[in-house]
Amino acid sequence: MDSGNILHDDPEENAHNTLHNAVKNLISKCKYYDFDELNLINSKDFRYTSIHINIHSLPSKYDQLLTLLANMKDAKLNINFIMLCETFLTNLNYDKFSIPGYQFVQRHRINRKGGGVCIYISDIFQFKERDDLSLNIASEFESIFIEITNLTKKTNRRRNIQSSRNKRTPLNR
């Protein structure tokens, strides 16, 4: 019998097992794509596209990120939102990593190295930061929420979408 499906008397353990099974199911359905495969699904069926990268130090991998984005652009892959975690930005460098064609929103750790989250938002979007939705717990959880407030071309009505970049710090750090 799969121990992940056993219910226990401990509600916390049940919640953990439920989450574990959900993540396992999600991961089993994840697929890695190369640029040609992405081109096939990057069609007009999708209004917004995003990528997420655990960059593990934006300062040290900024040039690699720019190269990746240039290759994606050459492959005609239009990315609206670039979401990064583990940016390792600081008070001294957070404003030095702009990307042409994108607006930049970020949260970095103040009193500790590492961590940090950011979202690059395509210039075609107007947005507002949603600090009322963001949750940042020192050394445990980091997030950014934005709300896109543009008019859509098809409906010519206001259509708000929200996007977030969240990162939960492992407990054993």
- Whichever domain contains 159, its CATH number is 3.60.10.10
79 and 123 co-located in one domain:
yes
Q: 59 and 116 in one domain?
A: yes
66 and 20 inside one domain: no
d(CA 38, CA 165): 22
The H-assigned helical ranges of the chain are 11-29, 35-41, 58-74
Q: Which tens digits make up the pLDDT trace of 84-100?
A: 999 999 999 999 999 99
Helix (H, G, I), strand (E, B) or coil at 131: coil
Least confident of 70-79, 111-120, 163-172: 163-172
Q: Provide, rounded to the nearest whole percent, the portion of the chain with pLDDT above 70.
A: 63
- Higher-scoring residue by pLDDT: 63, 160: 63
Question: Strands 50-54 and 81-85, how do they pair?
Answer: parallel
Residue 173 lies in a domain: no
Q: Are residues 100 and 139 in the same domain?
A: yes
What integer best gives the mean pLDDT of the chain?
A: 77
Q: How many whole angstroms from its chain centre is CA 131?
A: 16
pLDDT at 155: 34
DSSP state of 92: T
In the chain, how many domains are there? 2
Residue 19's CB is within 10 A of a number of other CB atoms, namely: 10
Question: Is the distance from CB of 59 to CB of 140 less than 8 angstroms?
Answer: no
**Do residues 40 and 67 both lie within one domain?**
yes
pLDDT for the residue numbered 77? 83
What is the average per-residue pLDDT within 103-132?
91
pLDDT value of residue 2 = 46
Instruction: Look at residue 23 and tell me if it is in a domain.
Output: yes
Give domain status of residue 96, yes or no. yes
Q: Which domain holds residue 6?
A: 1-30
For residues 88 and 125, state if they share a domain.
yes
Q: Is residue 60 part of a domain?
A: yes
Tokens of 53: 């990268």
Q: Which pLDDT does position 158 carry in this prediction? A: 47
